[in-house]
Amino acid sequence: MTSLPSILLRATTTRRLIYPVHALRCQRTFATSKTLSKTAIVSGSGRGIGKAIALRLARDGFDVCVNDLEHNSSSVESVVNEIKSLGRNALPVYADVSKCSQVESMVETSVAALGPLDVIVANAGIAKIHLGLDATEADTQSVLAVNFYGVLWQDQAAAKQFIKQGAGGKIINCASIVAFRPFPMSPIYCASKAAVRSLTQSFAMELAKHKITVNAYAPGIVDTQMAHAADEIYGVVDGLPKGSFLENAKSMIALGRTSVPEDVAKMVSYLASPDSDYVTGQTMIVDGGIVFS
């Protein structure tokens, strides 16, 4: 009777005959990644989309560095506890992603506590709703500082860590459908998300040789505090009651509903998994059918 090891040996030999060496290496990664512990940093994960992503990645087997601003510490602690109750490790790290040095320390802290980094999700973002002509210098700088510089610092710090580790990695950036089709009343926000899409493409080209993939997700209208704040402002401008923007938005969504953070987390789960190993430079739209690119 053939012993198990010899079957495995034959299977390996067959693969060797069929696949080029780099593909074989990928196969090996697929075979082992489920048994090794994996770690991810998710910025802005104290609430909203980031929280759903952190919890989803924990369910997928990741230990998670839960980042947010310090004033959200109680929400962060509760996300950390929820992850631990799922049997994964979690670490709260308070850092402002718009500050390069704080992002570098966050990556160092995560690696020291949780182990080598596998995935970073540059999720933190802010929105300001106003006419372009009313954009102040301060508002413009703050949106770009978090939404664009924040993503840049996170991508850089994670990529340097991945290169040091020598085993590749996955960078996942938060864009938005406005990177494809801008909304009115938020020109700086829209521009910041278009910049994320462009950065994602360029970094994907630069980092491929290190086996680092760089992708982004583009949510549509997601039921979070950010969307409710936008709803209120659009309501004031249009003279409509609270909730009208979100309700009316349904008519432009093919699937007939606005999304929940978990809809977005499912896409990020895929981008963080080996199933997306051959995908890079893409911004994946998750909007229920608003933008058809």
Q: Please list the active-site residues.
A: 189
Identity of the residue, 49 or 168, whose beta carbon is nearer to ligand NAD in the bound complex: 49
Q: Is 269 in the site for ligand NAD (CB under 6 A)?
A: no
Only one of the segments 27-35, 67-75, 205-213, 241-249 lies at the binding site for ligand NAD (rule: CB under 6 A); that segment is 67-75
Dist. CA 11–CA 261, nearest whole Å: 41
Identity of the residue, 56 or 211, whose beta carbon is nearer to ligand NAD in the bound complex: 56
Q: Annotate 49-84 with b (16+ C-beta within 10 A) or e (fewer).
A: bbbbbbbbbbebbbbbbbbbbeebeebbeebbebbe
**Binding residues with ligand NAD: total (CB under 6 A):** 30
Q: Is 288 in the site for ligand NAD (CB under 6 A)?
A: no
Only one of the segments 1-9, 113-121, 207-215, 217-225 lies at the binding site for ligand NAD (rule: CB under 6 A); that segment is 217-225
Only one of the segments 15-23, 40-48, 85-93, 132-140 lies at the binding site for ligand NAD (rule: CB under 6 A); that segment is 40-48
Among 40, 41, 42, 49, binds ligand NAD (CB under 6 A): 49
* Residue 102 C-beta: closest distance to ligand NAD, Å: 8
DSSP for 118-152 reads: -EEEE---------GGG--HHHHHHHHIIIIIHHH
Classify 259 as helix, strand or coil: strand
Identity of the residue, 237 or 253, whose beta carbon is nearer to ligand NAD in the bound complex: 253
Q: Within positions 82 to 101, which residues make up the interface with ligand NAD, using CB under 6 A?
A: 96-98
Q: Is 157 in the site for ligand NAD (CB under 6 A)?
A: no
Contact 223, 260 (CB under 8 A): yes
Classify 4 as helix, strand or coil: helix
In a 13 Å sphere around the CA of 189, the CA atoms on its Cβ side amount to 19
The dihedrals phi and psi of 268, each to the nearest 5 degrees, come to -65, -35
User: Rounded to whole angstroms, what are the CA distances from 43 to 130, 148, 285?
Assistant: 25, 13, 20
Of residues 216, 62, 63, the one with CA closest to residue 125: 216
* Residue 163 C-beta: closest distance to ligand NAD, Å: 24
Q: In the structure encoding, which two tokens stand for residue 55, read together?
A: 């919890």
Identity of the residue, 194 or 226, whose beta carbon is nearer to ligand NAD in the bound complex: 226
Only one of the segments 110-118, 121-129, 208-216, 241-249 lies at the binding site for ligand NAD (rule: CB under 6 A); that segment is 121-129
Residues in the chain: 293
**Chain residues in the site for ligand NAD (CB under 6 A):** 43-44, 46-50, 67-69, 72, 96-98, 123-127, 146, 150, 174, 176, 219, 221-222, 224-227
